[in-house]
Amino acid sequence: MSKIKEKFAGKIEDSIREVREFLSAHGDEKMGEITVRQLYSGMRGMPALIYETSKLDPAEGIRFRGYSIPELNEVLPKYPPEGKQPLPEGIFYLMLMNELPTEDEVRRISNNWARRSIVPPHVFKVIDALPVNAHPMTQFITGINACRTESEYRRAYRDGINKSEYWAHTYEDAMNLIGRLPRIAAYIYRRCYRNGEHIEPNPDLDWAGNFAHMLGYDSEEFREMMRMYMTIHSDHEGGNVSAHAIHLVGSALSDPYLAFTAGMAGLAGPLHGLANQEVIRWIQSMRDELGGGLPSKEQIENYCKKTLADGKVIPGFGHAVLRKTDPRYEAQRGFAQEYMPDDELFQIVSRVYEVVPDILKATGKVKNPWPNVDAHSGQLLMHYGLTEYDFYTVLFGVSRALGTMAALIWDRVLGMPIERPGSTTTAQLKERFGN
């Protein structure tokens, strides 16, 4: 057993006992009441599941095991000797172990994922069977599902393992999946946009640095951006569509490959992760309409009004939980201010930020007029020449594995049961409350 897994195994008993004791002391406490409106509005604000790795506060933003993004910048190990961005290995360790990693532990995770990164050849063949212009998320989901042949959890379950061992096999699949995802994603990128000229991994690099390398972007600045990107997109508590889908499908004891595939299908929706490509598409069509250049505030305002009048959303703005500017947006803005303050697209993104909230407030119905994570990420990628925005959600997806796989391991540690909420009908509600 690897040192990391051994250390994790050492934590399990205490956590299981803690939850059991807590449940027997407080299992009958009430967590609030459910209104009829909540049933019709996507279960907003209903505490409905346990998800240990991160928690989203509407007024503050995400905290990973208690740490905000600015705090993580202080405490997580960086790429030696001069890296400034936290390494995604560190946030994974934090989410899994509920403690901060040392530099040595982060290095161990890097090496562990590098060892696990070999993708079986049939996965590439399955991807190659799709038309090259299939959306990258279709190719990504297909590739992940094809990897399922390698599921250790599935094999072990078929062999008849004890429930208490589920987590150990889930751990193997989760770590293998994380190790392989950059390879699969980079393969899709090079297949779609670089004539299938693939780049061999560099095992001496960290996980995100190697991903950047395999995509074909080798500057240290791009690698730093990728480390930051992979860290901030990694988790956003359990109720968002991708994390919830992974938790839900995993609760049927489907293996981690199946569960992750389900999550990625949700991430590919335009109201969720696909918004990162939609933001750039929206800005580009605004620029096309205006004949290029830096649009004035007034021009942006008019374009926003037209978008709303056409019955569309302004991508990158709004959130189901947050009620302030997303700290993930702020982290990316800080990066752009430091590395590319004069970038024209950055100036447009900044101007959009100045204009959109007032317009959304004026609608009287948008609950959160502020930008979310997707309002900024495309600009950073465009700056470095990664302009193929249909690919952006794949990057989000690679990162999302970190939190959701750590959470899935915890689901199996804690013996979370199959998820099965009740549903009702309008007729039944009318019967109960009147017409």
Q: Is 218 a catalytic residue?
A: no
Residue number of the CB atom closest to ligand CMX: 318
From the list 213, 272, 376, 383, the catalytic residue is 272
Cβ proximity to ligand CMX: between 304 and 386 the closer is 304
Between CA 55 and CA 57 the distance in angstroms is 7
Minimum distance of ligand CMX from residue 75's CB (angstroms): 25
Between CA 327 and CA 331 the distance in angstroms is 6
Decide if residue 365 touches ligand CMX (CB under 6 A): yes
Minimum distance of ligand CMX from residue 326's CB (angstroms): 8
What does the per-residue mask of binding to ligand CMX show for 238-267, with x meaning CB under 6 A? --x---------------------------
Interface stretch with ligand CMX, choices 8-16, 328-336, 358-366, 405-413 (CB under 6 A): 358-366
Interface stretch with ligand CMX, choices 104-112, 114-122, 184-192, 309-317 (CB under 6 A): 309-317
What are the C-alpha distances in Å from 81 to residues 141, 295, 336? Answer: 36, 41, 22
Between CA 8 and CA 4 the distance in angstroms is 6
Enumerate residues 6+ apart whose C-beta is below 8 A from 204: none
> How many residues interact with ligand CMX (rule CB under 6 A)?
22
Decide if residue 301 touches ligand CMX (CB under 6 A): no
The 3-state DSSP class for residue 371 equals strand
Decide if residue 305 touches ligand CMX (CB under 6 A): no
What does the per-residue mask of binding to ligand CMX show for 167-206, with x meaning CB under 6 A? ----------------------------------------
Among the listed residues 16, 39, 100, 313, the single contact to ligand CMX using CB under 6 A:
313
Residue 59: what are its φ and ψ, rounded to 5°?
-90, -10
264: left (phi over 0), alpha (psi -120 to 50) or beta: alpha
Among the listed residues 320, 345, 401, 406, the single contact to ligand CMX using CB under 6 A:
320
Minimum distance of ligand CMX from residue 276's CB (angstroms): 7
Dihedral sign of CA atoms 335, 338, 340, 342 in order: positive
Q: Is 213 a catalytic residue?
A: no
Between CA 336 and CA 386 the distance in angstroms is 15
Decide if residue 362 touches ligand CMX (CB under 6 A): no
Cβ proximity to ligand CMX: between 250 and 316 the closer is 316
Cβ proximity to ligand CMX: between 127 and 264 the closer is 264
Decide if residue 372 touches ligand CMX (CB under 6 A): yes
Minimum distance of ligand CMX from residue 374's CB (angstroms): 5
Between CA 33 and CA 21 the distance in angstroms is 25
The 3-state DSSP class for residue 78 equals strand
Minimum distance of ligand CMX from residue 76's CB (angstroms): 22
Q: Are 369 and 361 in contact (CB under 8 A)?
A: yes
Half-sphere exposure of 152 (CA within 13 A, CB side): 14
Peptide bond into 47 cis (omega under 30): no
Cβ proximity to ligand CMX: between 118 and 271 the closer is 271
Among the listed residues 232, 283, 286, 366, the single contact to ligand CMX using CB under 6 A:
366
Minimum distance of ligand CMX from residue 429's CB (angstroms): 20
Minimum distance of ligand CMX from residue 82's CB (angstroms): 31
Between CA 70 and CA 63 the distance in angstroms is 10
Q: Which residues of 285-301 are buried (b: 16+ CB within 10 A; e: fewer)?
A: ebbeeeeeeebeeebbb
Decide if residue 317 touches ligand CMX (CB under 6 A): yes
Q: Is 374 a catalytic residue?
A: yes
Between CA 227 and CA 211 the distance in angstroms is 10
From the list 213, 233, 244, 319, the catalytic residue is 319
Decide if residue 19 touches ligand CMX (CB under 6 A): no
Interface stretch with ligand CMX, choices 105-113, 125-133, 205-213, 272-280 (CB under 6 A): 272-280
Residue 313: what are its φ and ψ, rounded to 5°?
-90, 155
Between CA 217 and CA 391 the distance in angstroms is 15
Cβ proximity to ligand CMX: between 75 and 271 the closer is 271
Half-sphere exposure of 154 (CA within 13 A, CB side): 14
The 3-state DSSP class for residue 317 equals strand
Among the listed residues 172, 255, 374, 411, the single contact to ligand CMX using CB under 6 A:
374
Minimum distance of ligand CMX from residue 80's CB (angstroms): 32
Q: Which residue has the tokens 């991160």?
A: 54
What are the C-alpha distances in Å from 167 to residues 53, 70, 156? Answer: 16, 32, 11
3-state helix, strand, coil in the chain (%, to 5): 60, 5, 35
**Residue positions annotated with a catalytic role:** 272, 319, 374
Binding site for ligand CMX (CB under 6 A): 240, 271-273, 275, 308, 313-320, 360, 365-368, 372-374
